[in-house]
Structure 1
Amino acid sequence: MQNPFFNSEENRLRSLFRVLLFIFLFVFMMVIPSLIPYTALDYIGRSILTLGLFYIMFRYVDGRPWSFSGLNLDRTWFMECAAGIVIAAVAMGLIFLTLWQTGGLEITSFSWNRSGETFWLIPLLIFFVQMASVGFYEEVMARGYLLPNITEGFTFGNITPQKAAIIAVIISSGIFGLGHAGNPNANITAVVNIVLAGVMLAVPFIITGRLGLSIGIHFSWNFFQGGIFGFRVSGMEVRNSLIQIQQSGPDWWTGASFGPEAGLIGVLGILLILGLTVLYLKQSGVRIGYADLFSNTFTEQKTIAEEAP
């Protein structure tokens, strides 16, 4: 009789329990940095703790080679991260211009025009650090850890790793969407659109096996959305954005009090990012298919890592 909790052939916990353990520890650890009274340090702490948890789980609980972590920081990784930043910035800039030119928003002020004791650039830099951290630790959690493990959990019988990866994208994106359900002004439309964003963020990782594009896109989408253009970021108001705006127009189009992610304009932005990402990868000579992490079993991954120079 097979042990439902432990895979004796692979000498590790089964994927469901690895996923549950990781989510539990992740949620628990996020409480610790929140005790730090400084926002930037709080979010840097979250990134450090998430990276530490990811490393321990990935290497010692999963028993997976680090070369499959998506965090091998070479030139290609940084180039893809930079490309993700540019792609999301362009998409958010087009969202802003579209709403501005169609009367969906009005520019009311700029950060350097506001009076106050704090120099206007300091809050923007703090928000930059905050969103860079969010982009990093949410991608490491939702894509870097959940996707490979859920893929393995559904790889059995006639279900190949490639088919299982599609299931994993849907499930991990659902978890990602539900994780935002408690945000201010969240509704069903907002959660569904966040799920779609999760799929968009998963695609470059599935294709490349690297998290550079996903992290770059996630960070840039949030930073330009809230820090530069003054939209709410997943329902959260950004008080010190570079541009101050007043939105109008139908909620189904603009996303209203949740931000563009809850409107049709946000969906179009997500689809644009997905298209530009695939175009960038094709232009970079990347084969549009499944990376080794999502096209091979756990045993095959270990063999590939051992044979690598």
Structure 2
Amino acid sequence: MFSWIEHNRLLTLARQAARLPHILIVLLLGLAIALLSQFGAIPVIMAQVFIYGISENAIDTSEMSALVSGSWMAATLLSSFAGIFLFLWLWTRFFEKRSFSSLGFELPNALIKYLRGFLIGIIIFGGAVGLLAVTGFAEIEQGNPSMQGVTALGGVLVVLAGWLVQGAAEETLTRGWMLPVLSARYKPWVGILVSSLFFAVLHSLNPNLSVIAMVNLALFGFFAAFYALREGSLWGICALHSVWNWVQGNIFGFEVSGGSFGGGTLLNLMETGPDWLTGGPFGPEGGLAVTFVLVVGMAFIFFWPVKTQEVSPESVQE
């Protein structure tokens, strides 16, 4: 029934590699790639400091419109995470001797998978917000009129470009490379466990982190791993991850993994219940409402009536 965990397209693609690195190399290299990529944002941040100055130990955004704020936020996300693609291309090309597309970016049905992931991401996170709403633990907060509602629509749409890159980059590193490489070299459970915990550790320095938040970060890692393996590609989970963050921060106005992001928000919701349920200052990802939807999401994946198609390694083009 669950044979797709061991026999799926992502593992077949990983086995094309001329050599698969040891687990310690995978962990150290993954950490180095994640950290080095962040240096790409330094010029963008310096430009903002030069133009707007610093107020209360942060860039002064008080005079920014939602569109300008969203543009800077998109630029910051793009410059912070685009380097991950470059580093992984270099590694797979010159060390593993395989194509970048073998990380799960094959073209057949790519658009369908991407749009499906986008829709599922909206539904799943929307489910968590709906749970908070029906229990009376979320309500609309009146904030800066220029940064919420229809007035902020331009910024909300522009910042989506940054989230699309950010979500895809994290998924490419953890589920496109780390998960199948470790699964192919060792066992699938090793790849699933290590990549999921690694994903949680990458966010362990985020502000306002709690025990439930760490559990949910790991749960999202497991959910994303099962999704990618079940689909046999990375397109769907890249879209899901990206829209999850976008909807959370720029549609509903919550903190995203403990942080506040620019671009404005269509709705400005505020958690009003206990932190263990709503997530408190970390955002919904720190509460049991998200725990619930992630568990339900994993159950859905295990009974997802989609048959992963295996193809011979020779069919993958450079």
TM-score (norm 2): 0.76
Alpha-carbon distance, 1:126 to partner: 3.6
**Aligned to 2:98, what secondary structure does the other structure show?**
coil
1:217-296 superposed matches below 5 A: 217-238=240-261, 240-277=264-301, 281-282=304-305, 285-287=306-308
1:78-93 superposed matches below 5 A: 78-93=111-126
**What is the CA deviation profile of residues 163-205 of structure 1, one whole-angstrom value per residue up to 9, with x for unaligned ones?**
x111211111111101111111002221111000000001122
Distance 1:180 1:47, change over 3 A: closer
Contact 2:206 2:259 (C-alpha < 8 Å) held by counterparts: yes
Q: Aligned partners of 1:191, 1:212: CA distance in 2, in Å?
A: 25
**Aligned to 1:246, what secondary structure does the other structure show?**
strand
> Of 159, 163, 172, which residue of structure 2 is paired with 1:140?
172
1:85-124 superposed matches below 5 A: 85-109=118-142, 113-114=145-146, 120-124=152-156
**What is the CA deviation profile of residues 98-150 of structure 1, one whole-angstrom value per residue up to 9, with x for unaligned ones?**
21232101112387x4379x952233124312221211110011111111222
Alpha-carbon distance, 1:59 to partner: 2.5
Letter of the aligned partner of 1:286 in structure 2? K
Contact 1:87 1:276 (C-alpha < 8 Å) held by counterparts: no
Q: Which deviates further from its counterpart, 40-49 or 143-152? A: 40-49
Q: Aligned partners of 2:42, 2:27: CA distance in 1, in Å?
A: 23
Alpha-carbon distance, 1:238 to partner: 4.1
TM-score (norm 1): 0.78
Q: Which deviates further from its counterpart, 56-65 or 242-251? A: 56-65
Structure scoring higher RCO (CA < 8 A, sep ≥ 6) equals 2
- The percent of aligned pairs where both chains have the same amino acid is 25
Map of 2:223 onto structure 1:
200
Q: Does 1:150 align with 2:150?
A: no
Gaps of 5+ in 2: 1-17, 46-71
> Of 94, 103, 110, which residue of structure 2 is paired with 1:60?
94
Contact 2:33 2:84 (C-alpha < 8 Å) held by counterparts: no
1:15-54 superposed matches below 5 A: 15-37=23-45, 38-54=72-88
Alpha-carbon distance, 1:224 to partner: 1.0
Gaps of 5+ in 1: 1-9, 155-163, 293-300
Contact 2:192 2:222 (C-alpha < 8 Å) held by counterparts: yes
Q: Aligned partners of 1:48, 1:68: CA distance in 2, in Å?
A: 18
Q: Which deviates further from its counterpart, 26-35 or 263-272? A: 26-35
Map of 1:160 onto structure 2:
none
**Aligned-pair Cα RMSD in Å:** 2.8
Letter of the aligned partner of 1:224 in structure 2? V
Contact 1:170 1:199 (C-alpha < 8 Å) held by counterparts: yes
Q: Aligned partners of 1:221, 1:12: CA distance in 2, in Å?
A: 31
Alpha-carbon distance, 1:210 to partner: 0.6
Give the number of equivalent residue pairs: 273
Q: Aligned partners of 2:199, 2:132: CA distance in 1, in Å?
A: 27
Contact 1:104 1:248 (C-alpha < 8 Å) held by counterparts: yes
Q: Aligned partners of 2:217, 2:282: CA distance in 1, in Å?
A: 11
Q: Which deviates further from its counterpart, 226-235 or 43-52? A: 43-52
